[in-house]
Amino acid sequence: MNIKLQLFGAFRTLGEELELSLPDGSATVADIRSALIEEIRDSNMLTVPDKEGLVASSRFATEEELLTDDYTVRDKEVIAIIPPVAGG
């Protein structure tokens, strides 16, 4: 299954969104994390010193709520990545 990951903060150097391929059947937010790490591992477009650390310190969310890593993702669902926040 595929999902579109909306990108924010430091992940914006990769674009506005990223399409990720997840295992068919039941996929969770933890699977999104793994798929993203695979995707960026060899990319030099994400210009942060510790790419995997940034993914590890990020949360995932829908438009309404933050998600836990065991949340089951639906096909074509729009999920956003939320790196450490700095508003106000």
Partner 1 sequence: MEGNIYTDIWNVEDKTLSVQDGLDFVAGSGNGAENIFVGTVRDNNQGRKVIGISYDVFEPLAKQSFIDICREAQNSWGKSLNLYVVHAKGRLNIGGISIVIAVGSPHRDESFKACRYIIEQIKHRSPIWKLEHYIDGDSEWTKGCELCDGVYKAEQ
User: What are 57's two structure tokens?
Assistant: 């310190």
Residues in the interface with partner 1 (CB under 8 A) total 23
Is position 15 an interface residue for partner 1 (rule: CB under 8 A)? no
User: What are 59's two structure tokens?
Assistant: 């949360």
Identify the residue among 14, 18, 33, 83 touching partner 1 (CB under 8 A). Answer: 83
Is position 1 an interface residue for partner 1 (rule: CB under 8 A)? no
Asked if residue 42 lies in contact with residue 83, where contact means CB atoms within 8 angstroms, the answer is no
Asked if residue 40 lies in contact with residue 82, where contact means CB atoms within 8 angstroms, the answer is no
Identify the residue among 44, 70, 76, 86 touching partner 1 (CB under 8 A). Answer: 86
